[in-house]
Each structure stands twice: as structure tokens, then as C-alpha cells.
Amino acid sequence: MEIDLRTRTALVTGSTQGIGLAIATALARAGATVAVNGRSEEKVARAVEAVTERVPGAALVAAAADVTTEEGVDRLRGLLPRLDVLVNNLGIFGAQDALDISDEEWRRYFEVNVLSAVRLTRAFLPGMTERGWGRVLNIASDSAVVIPAEMIHYGMSKTALLAVSRGFAKEAAGTGVTVNSVIAGPTRTGGVEDFVYQLVDRDLPWEEAQREFMRLHRPQSLLRRLIEPEEIANMVAYLSSPLASATTGAAVRVDGGYVDSIVP
């Protein structure tokens, strides 16, 4: 299969590190013009440099903006008058006892993980439907289906994102635009490494800590290891391409078999 996005422009939110950076790299490798996003201009500049090192000659747009605000979304609309692929990757997570999660934290998780995606979709979907082609992808999580006891506020936000994806897919029905969510399983990123050490002995070497985390806290995984960000990015690149034209309204799993279900 050849994934060709040479005529397309893509925005990946929260793409200065981790899964977002891997997705930006994969889309750039497929030929897309990629807007790299983060709140800090310095971090965005470093991420642009990192993608360029991996994909020499990549067409990149430095898109520093806080997408959790209306002002940030307006800035991106000015930078990207035409957008073909929107990847809502930005998200926050962290462990907290269920009864200790404050109203403010519940709202913050919804604002960042859900409403930012809704706001961006609302901004860019009309242009896609008018042109008759587009891709909206929301990066969800296995936690949307298997709610973790140690972070139910995060699980809630990702469950909501699945509903948002399905709903906007119906809004775009018959237009040539697809809207999907990607259920990412436990993935190795800097933030996840910190999270692992919140739950297991900090004195353990990383490989041993990872195995202990998967054994104690993610025993359903069939991979028995953390997923690499590039493995998530490969699925996103496919779903962003013309090859995935018949996939919409779906929650596509890249979870290492973590969700114990034979239905996607």
C-alpha cells in the first residue's frame, strides 16, 4: 500500500512530543504539509526540527497556539485557511483517587480532552465538507472502554471523545469526509514513563518497571509491553489517506489487544 498525502494539509494538535510528534512525522513522510502544534513557540520549533531530521525536505508549519481556547483556534484558522486532515491528539492524564477528584479537575479534563476537539472540528469540518474530502481523527484510549480505577476522569473524557467522533461522522455523512477515533493502548511516551513510576517502585530499571506495570495494572494486554508511538502513527496515517475512504464513524483499536472484545 502506498499512502500518498502530497496534496493534503494536516494539523496535529499536541504534536511537540510523544504520540503527536510520531503522527506528525508519519504524515510528513506520506507527503502532507503538516502543522506542528503546541502552546510554546520554542517547543514547536524543536519539534519542527525533529520532524525535519527524520523526514528531510518535509513541508511543515509551526503552529504555536493553545487549542483549549477560542483564541488559539482562531489563530490556527488564520494560519491554515485550508485543512484536509485534523488530528485531535492533545490530551492530559494522571492518576488520582476517584473520591479526591475535584469539580475543577473534572472540568479541566473535559475542556482539554473533549471540548478542544469539538471546537476544532466545528472550525474545520465545514470547509472539508464543502470541498468534498477530509479526515478528522480523534485520538482516544483504551481507558474509554476499560475505565481505570486510578483515573476515571481521564476515562470519562475519552469515552466522551468516542461519542463525539461518532456524532460528527453522522454530521459529515455522504460528504466524502470521514470522522473516526483511534483507541490507543498503553503507549510508551515520556509522560507515560512518569505515570508508570507513580504506580511501581521508582528504583526499578525501566524495562523491569514497564513489565511490572503491565503485569499489575494492564494485565489484559496481549502484547505484554507498551506500544511504541510510531505504531499508533501508522494507523493514523492510513486513516488519513484515501485508502481508508470507507471507514467512518469507527473506533479503530491500536491497543495491543488490551480491550477484551472481539468487536472493534
Catalytic residues: 154
Tell me how far CA of residue 244 lies from CA of 215, 228, 240, in angstroms: 35, 22, 7
Using DSSP bridges, classify how beta strands 85-88 and 251-254 pair: parallel, antiparallel or unpaired.
Answer: unpaired
> Nine-digit cell at 180?
473516526
Phi/psi-derived region of residue 30, left when phi > 0, alpha when psi is between -120 and 50, beta in every other case: alpha
Radius of gyration of the chain (CA): 18
Q: Where would I find the H helices in 5-140?
A: 18-29, 41-54, 70-79, 103-110, 116-131
Query: If DSSP codes are grouped into helix, strand and coil, which group holds residue 97?
Result: coil
- Residue in 56, 73, 64 with CA at minimum distance from that of residue 15: 64
Element at 178 (helix H, strand E): strand 177-184
CA dist 24 and 173 (Å) reads 27
> Nine-digit cell at 63?
503552529
